[in-house]
Amino acid sequence: MKLLERKYNLIVVVLALFAGITACEKDVILDLASIEGKYVIVEGNLIDDGSRQWIRLTRSSSYYDVTTGEAVQNASVTVQGNNQSWVFQELIPDSLPGYYFNSLISTALIETTYELNIETTNNQTFFAQSQMRPLPELDSVTVKLNPFSEFDFFDTTVYDVIAHFADLPGEGDHYLFNLYINNKLKTPRPSDKAPVSDENLDPYTSFAVLSVNENDISPGDTLTLEMRSISKEKFDFYNIFFNQTDLSGNPFAGAPPANIPTNLSEDGRGFFQVSSVNRKSIIFQPPQ
């Protein structure tokens, strides 16, 4: 399996561009500033680890704007499921605008469907559903030298982070992997994360899901691999996001550009996902 293949595609692209693909040039004028403030962007990734959960609301910003879109404040934000309802509230001035928190929902999450309802002060309403799916136990985590590093392909040494777990019976499950070093998230962007489908997984699987540069980790650091259950739609969201950003402009990237999927109604953007989560930590030592 080549689950790191999408990361290595960037290397292949650079090499391919040296072949002289320079003739396909055409001026295209896009009104990329017209989306400023047009859409409400929802970031809602709830997990069952017992911690305080948050949902973030912003408005879309111009492509040319390097700052985050304007925060959506004073909205009504609720999540319902398992015959319960949880209100998410801003904690101004103790938190940034546009973040809505709830400290009770995480410990109550079970494998069922949850509904997100949002109403803004200008009477915009948004709705989304997410099913919390089961998750296999992450048995262990190991680290090995990346094959490209063995041949000095990179300027620095790169290590692969290996996940070991028994997949759930049947097919149709999807997982997401994050990496933490000393409790700091090293995969913050959607394109940094590793979405995995169980379509081709063995009953017991050991494979490289993420990689880490030697400049980002030192012997004795705590390396934590996080595994989440996600929906097929969220799996597609991450893969398309990667193709639309990291592989943007690559003629070999596959399908033509398309809108990044969302499960929000009424022209909302972003995604609402409820996930099971488990983590495994190791003390990092460079493999010999």
pLDDT tens per residue, range 167-178? 999 889 999 999
For position 168, what pLDDT does the model report? 94
Dihedral of alpha carbons 30, 33, 38, 40, sign? positive
At 109, list the tokens. Answer: 């999450």
The answer, yes or no, to whether residue 7 has pLDDT greater than 70, is no
Mean pLDDT score, 189-212: 93
Helix (H) or strand (E) holding 237: helix 232-245
Burial 121-152 (b: 16+ CB within 10 A, else e): eeeeebebebebbebbebeebebeebeebeee
C-alpha span between 106 and 89 (Å, rounded): 15
Q: What is the percentage of the chain residues whose pLDDT exceeds 70?
A: 79
For position 23, what pLDDT does the model report? 40
pLDDT one-digit tens code per residue, 75-97: 999 999 999 999 999 999 999 99
Q: Which phi and psi angles does 11 have, rounded to 5°?
A: -65, -45
The answer, yes or no, to whether residue 107 has pLDDT greater than 90, is yes
The answer, yes or no, to whether residue 2 has pLDDT greater than 50, is no
User: Helix or strand or coil: residue 96?
Assistant: coil
For position 244, what pLDDT does the model report? 72
Mean pLDDT score, 223-252: 81
Neighbour-count burial of 218, counting CB atoms closer than 10 A to its CB (0-12 exposed, 13-18 middle, 19+ buried): exposed
Q: Which phi and psi angles does 147 have, rounded to 5°?
A: -55, -35
Neighbour-count burial of 52, counting CB atoms closer than 10 A to its CB (0-12 exposed, 13-18 middle, 19+ buried): exposed
C-alpha span between 81 and 259 (Å, rounded): 29
- 285 or 260: whose pLDDT is higher? 285
pLDDT one-digit tens code per residue, 56-79: 999 987 545 555 689 999 999 999
The answer, yes or no, to whether residue 279 has pLDDT greater than 60, is yes
pLDDT one-digit tens code per residue, 110-153: 999 999 999 999 999 999 999 999 999 999 999 999 988 777 66
Q: Which phi and psi angles does 183 have, rounded to 5°?
A: 70, 10
Q: Which phi and psi angles does 21 have, rounded to 5°?
A: -85, 85
pLDDT one-digit tens code per residue, 153-168: 678 899 999 999 999 9
